[in-house]
């Protein structure tokens, strides 16, 4: 089995576990990326079997996939029963980085509105610290992009080509090994023009780690659905 096949099967396992927790009538936040797409496909299967739910996608790509699977869609308004998404890296304590795809602002809004926010990953995305990932993305108002990069010059900022779905500039900073990521997150957020960052504090029991054999545990090692 190739690494890509193994990872796809792991995401599928986590996606099925997440979709199994959606109840009839739920409004469901739909994340962005490959793991979230696995959850959307699993939810589409349940919809074909008769589940009634409404999806609130965090990106055009997720909206297109969900619509193709027959999942009814709605705008972001009011509370959500549940949401699921992926992550770039998560520690066993639930500290995570998201935003490689640039959708972290919408993902935070959807996660905060959800009664339960599930994050779907596989073993390569579990780290004892965030250092192996090494990048913290920022979403910045275009007017302030140069100002933010100057203020964070000590963290080797780089500006991504293009913009987010909300027309925000995406800037990646690079915390040094052993850095206090939460302190650097506070430093970045204190700069005018920074709308959000990719640092998330998650509930470990709601981070589902799928494996190629179909089993799923939470990131803290507890058996999951």
CATH number, domain of 43, equals: 3.40.50.1360
- Residue 223 in any domain: the answer is no
Residue 117: in which H helix or E strand, if any?
Answer: strand 117-122
Q: Closest Cα to residue 130, out of 160, 102, 92, 158? A: 92
CATH of the domain at 150: 3.30.70.260
Indicate if 13 and 44 belong to the same structural domain: yes
Active site residue 182: no
Q: Which residue has the tokens 């089995």?
A: 1
> Domain range spanning residue 177?
136-195
Among candidate residues 12, 45, 49, 107, the one labeled active-site is 107
- Residue 225 in any domain: the answer is no
- Residue 219 in any domain: the answer is no
Q: How does strand 26-30 pair with strand 53-57?
A: parallel
Tell me 197's DSSP state.
E
Task: Give the pLDDT confidence of 106-121 residue by residue, as tens digits.
Answer: 999 999 999 999 999 9
Task: Give the pLDDT confidence of 160-184 residue by residue, as tens digits.
Answer: 999 999 999 999 999 999 999 999 9
The domain tally of the chain equals 2
Q: Is the pLDDT of residue 10 over 60?
A: yes
CB 53 within 8 A of CB 71: yes
Task: Give the pLDDT confidence of 56-65 residue by residue, as tens digits.
Answer: 999 999 999 9
Indicate if 117 and 155 belong to the same structural domain: no
Indicate if 144 and 39 belong to the same structural domain: no
| Mean pLDDT along residues 137-141 | 98
């Amino acid at each position: 089995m190739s690494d890509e096949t193994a990872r796809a099967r792991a995401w599928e396992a986590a996606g099925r576990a997440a979709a199994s927790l959606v109840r009839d009538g739920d409004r469901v936040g739909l994340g962005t990326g490959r793991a979230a797409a696995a959850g959307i496909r699993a939810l589409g299967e349940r919809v074909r079997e008769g589940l009634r739910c409404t999806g609130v996608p965090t990106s055009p790509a997720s909206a297109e996939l969900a619509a193709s699977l027959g999942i009814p869609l709605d705008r972001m308004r009011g509370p959500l029963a549940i949401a699921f998404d992926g992550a770039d890296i998560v520690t066993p304590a639930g500290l995570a980085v998201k935003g490689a795809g640039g959708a972290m602002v919408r993902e935070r809004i959807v996660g905060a509105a959800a009664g339960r926010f599930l994050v779907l990953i596989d073993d390569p995305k579990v780290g004892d610290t965030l250092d192996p990932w090494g990048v913290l993305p920022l979403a910045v108002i275009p007017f302030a992009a140069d100002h933010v990069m100057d203020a964070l010059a000590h963290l080797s900022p780089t500006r991504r080509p293009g913009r987010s779905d909300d027309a925000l500039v995406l800037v990646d900073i690079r915390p040094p090994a052993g850095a206090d990521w939460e302190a650097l997150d506070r430093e970045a957020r204190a700069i005018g023009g920074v709308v959000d960052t990719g640092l998330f504090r998650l509930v470990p029991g709601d981070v589902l780690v799928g494996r190629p054999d179909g089993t799923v545990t939470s990131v803290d090692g507890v058996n999951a659905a």
